[in-house]
A and B are shown apart, each in its own frame.
Chain A
Amino acid sequence: MSWALFWLVSFVVAFAAFGVISLLIAVRGVAEIRELFASLEEERRRRAP
């Protein structure tokens, strides 16, 4: 495999992986933020006198 081909494969993998994982983050991140708020709210109530 020539260097040019190797770098082309690296670029395609980098671009595709970046796009796919970013999409996953955008979709699944919302639910995780809701969970974080829920746990912080629970913690806040637990600490309240």
Chain B
Amino acid sequence: MSATAVVPSFSSLDAAIAVLSLAATVWIGLRVKRYVGTIEDYLVASRGMGLYVGAASLLSTEVGIITYMYQAQFGFVAGFSAFAVGLITLAVCLLVGRTGFVITRLREMEILTVPEYFEKRYGRAVRVLAGVLMAVGGSLNLGIFPIIEARFLAVVTGIPARYLGWTMAALLVIALAYTAIGGMVSLIVTNYVQYVFLAAGTVIVTLVCLREVGWSGMVAAVESHGSGRGFDPVADLGGGFIFWQILLWIALMTVWQSVAMRTFSTRDAAVGKKMFTLTGFLFLGRAILPMAWGIAALAFFWGRATPAVAPPAATPLLRIEQVDARLAETFSRDLEDGRLERALPQVDLLDRLARAEAPRSPEAARFVDKAGERRGEIGLLAMPWMLAATLPTGILGLVLAGMLAASISTYAGYFLGWSAIIAQDVVSPLLSRGTPVVSGAEGGFVSEPARSSGSLPVTSSGLSKRARLRLTQVTIVGLTVFIMIWSLVYHLPGPAYFYLQVTANLFMAPTLIAVVGGLYWRRASAAGATLAFVLGALTSLVYLVPSFKVDVATAGNLSWALAVAGFVAGSFLVPGRPFPTVPKEGKP
């Protein structure tokens, strides 16, 4: 079977467009440093963020090249059923935006990080425990972004592999430069500019997909090559997966640090609520549009493919092994050169033969899994290869500028978010034993130490505000160095999606449960919160033990269930000190 390698049309004009957009971003980011004087300016821009800029900042932080890649991969593999996740994000954003669930209470407390609430409610030990889990999970989560994104850049620009490490390092340093100096003020302003690039790139790619393949082409591809799946999300993804996604998105929209920091930065709680309502539709696009790109890539490469023919062999199992051996010779090279129209039919053939034989032979079932893994690998790179094959010079530069803007804003937002946790919730409390490291106003049910002191001071810490600001800046530099090293030395053992879920799940379920329980349940205690964090984190690690063979959704749901059970059991068995029966401002 003949197939030609894709040669990207990336030219010096495209490079110039991308470099200029980056230079403009850095220039703007560095110019605003004079506005940063205190830790409140640095972490939450003195809580002066408006609705539209807030929406831009929130979305550009939560969209990077990696987001486009795994969403497109999901669409490529699961077809239109993947869109259900987009609808879930919209529903969750509207719920949070309309009701102010969690975010209103947290915003009114004027805290800087989510774990800071835990010190107010449960005491310092819970804050530090949550901070450590968030710092570890968040940093490891961020650690693979450069690995995945480098693959996108390699495909679209044709940069040789030996320069990719340096390219990614340069991008990280750019994000570091203005984040470390200007903090949230720099982020808000650069996020706005980056959002404009990001949105333009997203619209252009969507239009290109519609022009190249068309909606009917996408539907036909899923009908023909989806193995009878791709339209019904409940049948394809399962009720357990959908339920887990709902829980996960509620947690992401309320207590994920980079999202929560945007809530804390808004002018007031009302602006925060409106921001979520508005952003809900952007998050819908964040999911559905790149998923549609993945489906378009499926249609694009199947449109160029010719069916693979099974080799003649004595037995079905032998035939399967021969197809697998043929794939082993060509698959990696085809992925590297963009010959997906050759790889796809062979993977499809392997899948069909193995599925037909699997009921009779356990050995054949193994090849079903192998075909699935290879389909996933193709899915990750299909969208970038389609862009490389279809976008003309100039437009490619604009799209690349949008993608780089998306990525750098994500790095910058996550640098600030996770380093704030490390500095404010782990290092700072340990350096200032005995005094609460809290900021802002009292809210919800407040712990005994905080109440006994009368009212909470704006900042009462062993470290001065200036020292905390410097500590956060130093942490950002340290985190950047860690990410660079991690992305160079770490090799992903499996799909990126799997790794991202493991690292996020370390703290997502217990964080939301401890926040919601603390805000809305008087009996919640430090013992309950501690148990929730321990059980939630341990259950997530079940993913890493291959002998358990627990799928992502089951382990995710189990993590939630055990975190709830631990929280309730711990709170009943070891009750906390009595809390006020009527909280501040008469709120229930």
Contacts and interface: CB of A to CB of B under 8 A. Distances in A.
A21 B198 CA distance: 13
Nearest to B265: A36
Interface residues of A, number: 30
A10 B281 CA distance: 11
B199 interface: yes
B25 to A, nearest CB: 14
A44 B35 contact: yes
Contact of B49 (A10, A14, A15, A36): A36
A14 B52 contact: no
Interface string A6-34: 01101101110111011011101100110
Given A4-B80, A11-B292, A32 B53 contact: yes
Contacts of A3: 80, 231-232
A3 B236 CA distance: 13
Contacts of B206: 15
Interface string B37-58: 1100100011011111101100
Contacts of A15: 206, 285, 288-289
Contacts of A22: 195-196, 199, 203, 282
Contact of B37 (A14, A19, A35, A47): A47
A39 B231 contact: no
Interface stretch (B15-23, B185-193, B324-332): B185-193
Nearest to B210: A15
A37 B56 CA distance: 17
Contact of B35 (A11, A25, A41): A41
A25 B50 contact: no
A10 B287 CA distance: 11
A37 B41 CA distance: 11
Contacts of B56: 25, 29
B538 interface: no
B192 A19 contact: no
Given A15-B289, A25-B56, A43-B46, A36 B188 contact: yes
B284 interface: yes
Interface in B163-211: 185, 188-189, 192, 195-196, 199, 202-203, 206
Contact of B52 (A8, A13, A25, A40): A25
A4 B223 CA distance: 10
Minimum-distance CB pairs A-B, first 6: A18-B285, A32-B50, A22-B199, A3-B231, A17-B281, A14-B288
Given A8-B215, A36-B53, 12 more contacts: A3-B231, A4-B80, A10-B86, A10-B87, A17-B281, A22-B199, A32-B53, A35-B50, A36-B48, A36-B185, A41-B35, A43-B37
